[in-house]
Structure 1
Amino acid sequence: MLRLPSQTTETEWNSNWKEIQPALRKVRRSMASLRTSSLKVMRVSQLDSDILDVELVDILKEQLWSALSLFKCHKPTIKESLEPELLALLNLVLFKLSIYDSSASYGAQLQNLKYRNEWQHGGAFESIAKDAPLTKTQKILYGVFTVGGQYTWARTNRYITAKGWGEVDESDIRNKIYRVLQAGEKYWKAFSLINFLVFLWNGKYRTLVDRVLAMRLVYSKKSMNRQVSFEFLNRQMVWHAFTEFLLFLVPLINVEKLKMKLMRMLLPKSYLVSSKGYDMLPANQCAICHDSTSRENVPVGQVQNFTVHNPYETNCGHQYCYYCIQSKLSVFGDEWPCFRCGEKVSEIHKHIEIVQDEKLAEKVEIKESSS
């Protein structure tokens, strides 16, 4: 059959597509009655995003306080008098640049998360439908609750504490307001705890404000897998555990004693004695005193400053100052070698020198001979 150039031919696939439309509509209606699996968002990612946000605020606060500390003024300082206002301004700027502009905080963006309007989701296509963006009302209310609420509570609590409303008479209206605020804080904490337990169960709303405003954290890019490399973290944990083990073990090991034992095993006794020359010192000189001052280039033969005080004798028969020999034994134990002969010093005892009067001894000898 001839056709005019202006006429278009209907392809085979187009006709087939039109034929199966009734069947497709029937399948869609049947799928709407079914419920798909609920959307699963990792709870650890949501909690990590909150931790990252808190750390970011702490870093900015530290920088802000450091900048304000440069202003020298009388007490109270700017930080003490305007701290709630400064924190509110900082939180407002972060809220405007993150949640209000992109529906996600900086911590959530790092975790591939964003807020969506949960009021527009539910039913069968909860996990596969396109994410509904937050409305302007939700964003403004979120800022009012988080930024404005925190500022109002901090300023009110500071004012009430400074005026001492909690110490006035119970019949006073100020004391009643104080008790109402304290009760409200307790209820808020209790409801926040309940909400957190529910969050751990279903993983939907991380905070109470998110639940009230139906703002749920979902994946910004559903096709992006959570790929976290724990190699660096494992290395850090292993190194930390190893350093902790060394800090526990090293004080229990007498390194000096071990080093001295190795020297005695590897070096001959004659070398240990002759290398320092303390075997040539007079008997009334303390070799340990000479050794402790050897770094000051004191000559070995100098005897006037190193006379043995409170002498103690070793098992090899050489004398040292009590403090000197006791300090060596406390460090090296029974592995310390005598500086004069190289023998191991295992025990010491006080040296007692008996001095006899020669004239008295002669008289005693004369009396004995006469008798």
Structure 2
Amino acid sequence: MSRLPSQPPQQEWQLDWKNIQPALSSVRRSMASLQTSSLKVMRVSQLDSDILDSELFTILKEQLWNALSLFNPAFKESIEPELLALLNLALFKLSIYDTSATYGAQLQNLKYRNEWKHGGPLESIAKDAPLTKTQKIIYGVLSVGGQYAWTRTSRLVTSRGWGELDESDIRNKIYRVLQAGEKYWKALSLVNFLVFLYSGKYRTLLDRILGMRLVYSKKSMNRQVSFEFLNRQMVWHAFTVSLRI
């Protein structure tokens, strides 16, 4: 009759670990119910980052138009939505998709985090949950692709005069739906902005839909306005003016 192999004796620390599991579970439940201070991010920094991004886009667009100044103006006008979409796509890829922060946000010591992972007592923890790939892709599709689709559709509707057709015409109905959609989007954006001014979360409506919140990238840095972008803008402006002369 063969003997079963003897089981090795459990180490003392393993027995102690099993014994303290009920106490650890109780501590975890009590920590989850604790009231923590909400995360405060300066609203002016978030708004300044948006202004810096707009200024950067304007500068790049001017450089692009200058590069295309030798072409037929009608050609540039016909493909303007596509050119702006490509420019927006490049900025999105090099900023939010790669680093989870726009260039303006980086200058303001800000970055996006996945706010869906920071509910309740986890809002103010030191480690920020990164954006998921799905969030980034949807953000790019809605911001870049959505803006391009809206611009191109508006041009088509306006050029063909759909708004001046008979009200029973399907094209006139599409025109009215687009106009109503634009009004509702602007109204919701205004409501979101008012909520942002109150709570300091979700600067744009798209950020709120996708759960993308701007937080401090380095919490130990001084919270002050950076003049690096302004200095660069002045240098580039002087450089372009000298080239034109």
User: Shared fold (TM-score greater than 0.5)?
Assistant: yes
1:197 aligns with 2:194: yes
Structure 1 match to 2:58: 58
Structure 2 match to 1:87: 84
Q: How big is the shift at 1:31?
A: 2.2
Greater helix content: 2
Q: How big is the shift at 1:175?
A: 0.5
Q: How big is the shift at 1:122?
A: 1.1
Is the contact between residue 42 and residue 203 of structure 1 (CA under 8 Å) also seen in structure 2? yes
What are the within-5 Å matches in structure 2 for residues 83-232 of structure 1? 83-228=80-225
Aligned residue pairs total 209
Counterpart amino acid of 2:90?
Answer: V
Assess, with a 3 A threshold, how the Cα gap between structure 1 residues 54 and 228 changes in structure 2: closer, same or farther: closer
Is the contact between residue 108 and residue 226 of structure 2 (CA under 8 Å) also seen in structure 1? no
Taking every aligned residue pair, what percent have the same amino acid on both sides? 80
Q: Structure 1: how far apart are the matches of 2:137 and 2:224?
A: 34
| 3-state SS in 1 of match to 2:78 | helix
Is the contact between residue 39 and residue 126 of structure 1 (CA under 8 Å) also seen in structure 2? yes
| 3-state SS in 2 of match to 1:216 | strand
Q: How big is the shift at 1:223?
A: 1.4
Q: Structure 2: how far apart are the matches of 1:119 and 1:229?
A: 29
Q: Structure 2: how far apart are the matches of 1:80 and 1:29?
A: 62
Q: Structure 1: how far apart are the matches of 2:225 and 2:118?
A: 30
The two structures, once aligned, show a CA RMSD in angstroms of: 2.1
Q: Structure 2: how far apart are the matches of 1:29 and 1:80?
A: 62
Please, which runs of 5 or more residues in structure 2 have no aligned partner?
1-12, 228-245
Assess, with a 3 A threshold, how the Cα gap between structure 1 residues 155 and 228 changes in structure 2: closer, same or farther: closer
Assess, with a 3 A threshold, how the Cα gap between structure 1 residues 183 and 127 changes in structure 2: closer, same or farther: same
Please, which runs of 5 or more residues in structure 1 have no aligned partner?
1-13, 231-371
| 3-state SS in 2 of match to 1:77 | helix
Q: How big is the shift at 1:228?
A: 4.5
Instruction: Tell me the TM-score normalized by structure 2.
Output: 0.80
User: C-alpha deviations, 1:42-69, integer Å up to 9, x for none?
Assistant: 1000000000000000000000011101
Assess, with a 3 A threshold, how the Cα gap between structure 1 residues 47 and 86 changes in structure 2: closer, same or farther: same
Is the contact between residue 35 and residue 125 of structure 1 (CA under 8 Å) also seen in structure 2? no
Is the contact between residue 107 and residue 226 of structure 2 (CA under 8 Å) also seen in structure 1? no
Is the contact between residue 110 and residue 217 of structure 2 (CA under 8 Å) also seen in structure 1? yes
Instruction: Tell me the TM-score normalized by structure 1.
Output: 0.54
Assess, with a 3 A threshold, how the Cα gap between structure 1 residues 128 and 62 changes in structure 2: closer, same or farther: same
Q: How big is the shift at 1:77?
A: 2.0
* Greater than 3 Å deviation, 4+ residue runs: 21-29, 227-230
Counterpart amino acid of 2:142?
Answer: F
